């Protein structure tokens, strides 16, 4: 299962990326739209409440998002935490 892919296309085939992953503990987290980076879309929460650990996918000193298992759809969802 692939959670995220980055495709810079033929123009930038060898871009050096420095992405990281970490474990996020259960709890409440303010999302990027909750912080005002953009207007929250329908179904996009201002506060993400995690009931189990999640994956923090990030670029150092840049944006990050959480991947978590959604019980309703039994699939992974992604929520942006910063932009």
Per-domain boundaries in the chain = 19-82
pTM, entire model:
0.82
Alpha-carbon distances of 6 from 3, 9, 24, 61, 73, rounded to whole Å: 11, 9, 22, 18, 24
Question: Residue 13: pLDDT band by 50, 70, 90 thresholds?
Answer: confident
Residue from 11, 47, 15, 10 nearest 32 by CA: 47
pLDDT at 75 > cutoff 80: yes
Cα separation, 6 vs 38, in Å, equals 22
pLDDT at 82 > cutoff 90: yes
Q: What is the DSSP letter of 17?
A: -
pLDDT at 7 > cutoff 80: no
pLDDT digits 0-9 by tens, 14-51: 777 778 999 999 999 999 999 999 999 999 999 999 99
The number of angstroms, rounded, from the C-alpha of 60 to the middle of its chain's C-alpha atoms is: 14
């Amino acid at each position: 299962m692939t959670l995220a892919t980055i495709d810079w296309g033929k123009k930038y085939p060898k871009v050096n990326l420095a992405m990281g992953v970490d474990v996020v503990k259960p709890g409440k987290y303010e999302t990027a739209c909750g912080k005002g980076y953009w207007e929250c879309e329908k179904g996009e929460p201002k506060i993400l409440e995690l009931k189990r650990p999640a994956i923090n996918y990030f670029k150092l000193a840049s944006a990050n998002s959480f991947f978590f298992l959604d019980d309703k759809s039994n699939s992974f969802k992604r929520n942006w935490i910063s932009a």
